[in-house]
Structure 1
Amino acid sequence: MFDNIKNSPNYRWYVLATVAVGTFMATLDGSIVNVALPTISHQLNSNLSTLQWVVTAYLLTITSLLPVFGRLADLMGRKKVFGYGFLVFILGSALCGLAQNIWFLVATRVVQALGAAMLMSNSPAIITAIFPPKERGKALGLTGTVVALGSLTGPALGGILIKLAGWRSIFYINVPIGLLGFAAVLLVLPKDVPNKEKEPFDYLGALSFTLGMIFLLLGITNGEDWGWSSIPVLMSIIIGIILLILFILTERKVTHPMINLSLFRNRPFLIGNLAGGLSFIAMFANNMILPFYLQGVLNYDPAQAGMLLMIFPITMAIAAPISGNASDKFGPVFLTTTGLTITGVGLLYFSTLSASASFYHIIPGAILTGLGAGMFQSPNNSSVMSSVPPQKLGVAGGINSLVRNLGMVIGIAWSVSLFDALGGVATPNPSQIDAFMSAYHYVMLVAMAIALTAAVISFNRKSYAKAQ
């Protein structure tokens, strides 16, 4: 039966389905835990400052290790690393479910994130390697849909599971799904082609990059809570920058670097990643503050706010494969530039909303930003991944995912800091609503400027790998 699958003319789509399981699991677990935090806080007797590490540890680990596992996959084989990713993720999930105190849960979230990083860093590389250029955009577009659905499903599925079976079930559910995914890896994914050159792994580069990213992100994610001028934040950022400078110096000297810096002399690769990072910085400014506007100013209950917040990923999930398919025929430049421009228009729309906006007034902004994101992501990812040689696909996919996560972190950090500096309050009383709206509008205008800057950059990618 499985030989028939590998000989099927639709084999590449079976590979895509297998990769989609890992992508969905990793994305789902980034969002499903948030809805469980109040329950976990109560049952494990944890305060909010400690509880945030359940989310932060997962994010820091994934972001810092994406290029590392991408490079390891280029050397060891993508099937092997992707398969191990499922096993580590299953182990981490099971241990998370067994947690009896908050710090054990944080530690096991790190294990879970190790598996997620192995899965996320290799997904684009496996898809790019198996699909011909003329179908690559469509395939990566469908992957974008899976990412959107993972983010969309997380809070809703988490709420249902917690109600039916308790908070531990949001981790245990990964075990059977992960085992099915691992079985699919063994039976469906193509065998790895051995690396004939036997390149050594750049341990110093990997260590300096990983620690540099951890320290830098630790400072950025805690800047608002600890104070941007506080000693811990400043020291974290300074140490992170020093380690990343050491990483760059190391990569320029070693024969087989973890990240070949010459990739960034490749115009489509550089432009695509730069525009992609800026797009996430712009989008996550609104994703962070919009829920507080809906509940704190418009006084919507969580269910109403959830319905409005679902519009963005649903629109993105619909637009991404259509845009990806179109990019296979027409190239990425028009679609990526138009998508970012539409995102900018959507953010401009949000900057015009009032403190008495109706439910239906919110919808156009959510549709515009979701449409813009869907139009941009698939062609951009296809352009980036098609611009590198096959033996560099793993590390290129890791960098692409790293840029996405960095954009999310920076987008949240700058928007919250600017919002607070302008007098915004997360849960305003009636006398503070005007200050909230003024700060929110200003943040949206800055986010719009970032999105339009990304559009200009994207328009200048000029050369790209054309479909054959």
Structure 2
Amino acid sequence: MTSGAHASIDDLFERYGPIYRWLVTATVMTAAIAMGFASSMVNVAVPSVMGAFGVGLDQAQWMATGFLATMAATMLLSSWLIEVLGQRITFIATMTIFSAGAFMSATAPNIDLLILGRVLQGFATGIGQPLAMFSIFSVFPPDRRGTAMGIYGLASVLAPTFGPILGGIAIDTISWRYLFYLPLPFCLPALLLGLIFMPGKILPKQLPPFDWIGLGLIFFILFNVLSGLANGPRWSWDSNAVVIRLTCGSIGIIVFIFWELRATYPLLDLSLFKDRQFSLTMIAGFVFGVGLYASGYFIPVFVQTIQNYSATRAGLLLAPGGLVMMLFFPLAGRITDSIPAHIPIAAGLLIFAIGFLLIEAVDVNTTFWILVAYTAIIKVGLSFAIPSLSVAALRSVPSDKLARGASSATFFRNLGGGFGITLLTAFFQHRTRFHGEAFTATQTSDNQTTQYLLGKVENLLTASGI
């Protein structure tokens, strides 16, 4: 038996017995809770951060978009790191970087350093999510992986359930900065569990090849496309800066595809997309990523800026949806083990679409419980789809490409999240400017309401001696 840092999965099974697979699950679940907090809590802090640094939504949204874009890109680095460093060292390094990013965000003196801290957290989360899936699939047999993913999924919904509430309480009672400290109590236990239960590996004398050009192209594409979309409403869609960035991003996509098809060791294994089931699950995962992250981002922003909710009340609004996911995630995992995955995916997509059709009709007068019901419907659809998507994507992947398949699945889901938030922010800015211009056109000397309000202001200023 190998001891210490080099203990393999077989060694650890021999040491701990069948319970070892659940010890691994507990380890990655603890890390997932910390990372889930970082992903979800920031949404209730957006208005507070905008006020603290004097920035608009177009800049504040980079707290979420930068996190998701970096997370999506580094997911494709995860399989190489696992191959080189092994699960144990990769896990420990990931949690260390994540903790550093949390501290940087909490102490940032300006919006740029805050976004940089979020990028570090996204970097770590991008490696950690595929690592968790790979670790679970490594210790569970195929007929129990759906159940295991359903249980692991509980960690993914615990944070969105309680994270916004805790974050809202921190914002309303102390400061928005303390929101970024909240994941840290989970980081230390995760590090200790990782040291004990994650399998190690003897480091290779020579590093295996990696597609660094492909990774660079991914970052190039994401920066140009996302920044072009985000700044379109502010700079004008036909401005040189926006046109150049979107054009560079489009060219980058074409170059990336050609490079990956010819690369000896491709970053994104496009051969996996020859399988119809894998390709369809990647598309579905992208769509669900748009809905999952965009709804979680904009609903708290909407109720705080339009309906004047406190941060705590905005967090409470999201909690029932998280509880719904906690109930349905294990059920969806068991269903995936017993029936074809496309059935719960299709059902989840239908429920998901119904929820968004209802959300589209909300306005300033929509009540708290109506919003709760609409978000809960969306979460039911996500609960059925996400475990099934993960299992369906990897069922058709050869065992020697399991890590690549896992990183691709999470890459497309989080890529959808980054694009969803950016596009909705751009749409929000466009409609705000449209209604602002329409309102400005009504402000004439003939508008009696305006004249009445100006008279009131004049009286107040006169009474104040101004």
Percent of residue pairs identical:
27
Contact 1:323 1:374 in 2 (8 A): yes
Corresponding position of 2:335: 326
Corresponding position of 2:127: 118
User: Is the aligned partner of 1:220 residue 2:229?
Assistant: yes
**Shift in alpha-carbon separation, 1:37–1:291, aligned structure 2, 3 A:** closer
**Shift in alpha-carbon separation, 1:5–1:149, aligned structure 2, 3 A:** farther
Q: Return the letter of the residue paired with 2:29.
A: A
Q: Return the letter of the residue paired with 1:307.
A: L
- Give the one of 178, 186, 203 matched to 1:169: 178
User: Is the aligned partner of 1:379 residue 2:388?
Assistant: yes
User: Is the aligned partner of 1:202 residue 2:216?
Assistant: no
Task: Measure, in 1, the Cα distance between the counterparts of 2:206 and 2:277.
Answer: 27
User: Is the aligned partner of 1:47 residue 2:68?
Assistant: no
Corresponding position of 1:342: 351
Give the CA deviation at 1:323.
Answer: 0.6
What are the within-5 Å matches in structure 2 for residues 71-220 of structure 1? 71-162=80-171, 166-192=175-201, 199-220=208-229
Task: Measure, in 2, the Cα distance between the counterparts of 1:235 and 1:123.
Answer: 38
Corresponding position of 1:370: 379
1:328-378 deviations in Å (ceiling 9; x for gaps): 122312111111112223333445668755544444433322211101111
Task: Measure, in 2, the Cα distance between the counterparts of 1:51 and 1:350.
Answer: 23
**Shift in alpha-carbon separation, 1:94–1:250, aligned structure 2, 3 A:** same
CA-atom RMSD in angstroms: 3.6
Corresponding position of 2:246: 237
Task: Measure, in 1, the Cα distance between the counterparts of 2:315 and 2:411.
Answer: 28
Corresponding position of 1:462: none
Give the CA deviation at 1:188.
Answer: 0.7
**Shift in alpha-carbon separation, 1:115–1:225, aligned structure 2, 3 A:** same
User: Is the aligned partner of 1:249 residue 2:249?
Assistant: no
Give the CA deviation at 1:11.
Answer: 1.3
**Count of residues paired in the alignment:** 430
Give the CA deviation at 1:19.
Answer: 0.8
User: Is the aligned partner of 1:18 residue 2:22?
Assistant: no
1:49-95 deviations in Å (ceiling 9; x for gaps): 65554444333322222212333324442333222101111222233
Q: Which runs of 5+ in 1 are unaligned?
A: 432-468
What are the within-5 Å matches in structure 2 for residues 344-359 of structure 1? 344-351=353-360, 357-359=366-368
Corresponding position of 1:408: 417
**Shift in alpha-carbon separation, 1:177–1:245, aligned structure 2, 3 A:** same
Give the CA deviation at 1:234.
Answer: 2.3
Give the CA deviation at 1:111.
Answer: 2.8
Bigger radius of gyration among the two: 2
Task: Measure, in 2, the Cα distance between the counterparts of 1:167 and 1:130.
Answer: 40
1:293-318 deviations in Å (ceiling 9; x for gaps): 65677776655554333232221221
Contact 1:68 1:395 in 2 (8 A): no
Give the CA deviation at 1:191.
Answer: 2.9
Greater shift, 330-339 or 143-152, is seen at 143-152
SS at match of 1:183: helix
Q: Return the letter of the residue paired with 1:89.
A: F
**TM-score, normalised relative to structure 2:** 0.79
Task: Measure, in 2, the Cα distance between the counterparts of 1:426 and 1:355.
Answer: 15
Give the CA deviation at 1:266.
Answer: 1.9
Contact 2:65 2:421 in 1 (8 A): no
Q: Which runs of 5+ in 2 are unaligned?
A: 5-11, 441-466
Contact 1:223 1:413 in 2 (8 A): no
**Shift in alpha-carbon separation, 1:421–1:325, aligned structure 2, 3 A:** same
Contact 1:74 1:395 in 2 (8 A): no
Task: Measure, in 2, the Cα distance between the counterparts of 1:107 and 1:127.
Answer: 31
**Shift in alpha-carbon separation, 1:329–1:179, aligned structure 2, 3 A:** same
**TM-score, normalised relative to structure 1:** 0.79
1:31-66 deviations in Å (ceiling 9; x for gaps): 3234445555666x5533655544443333222222
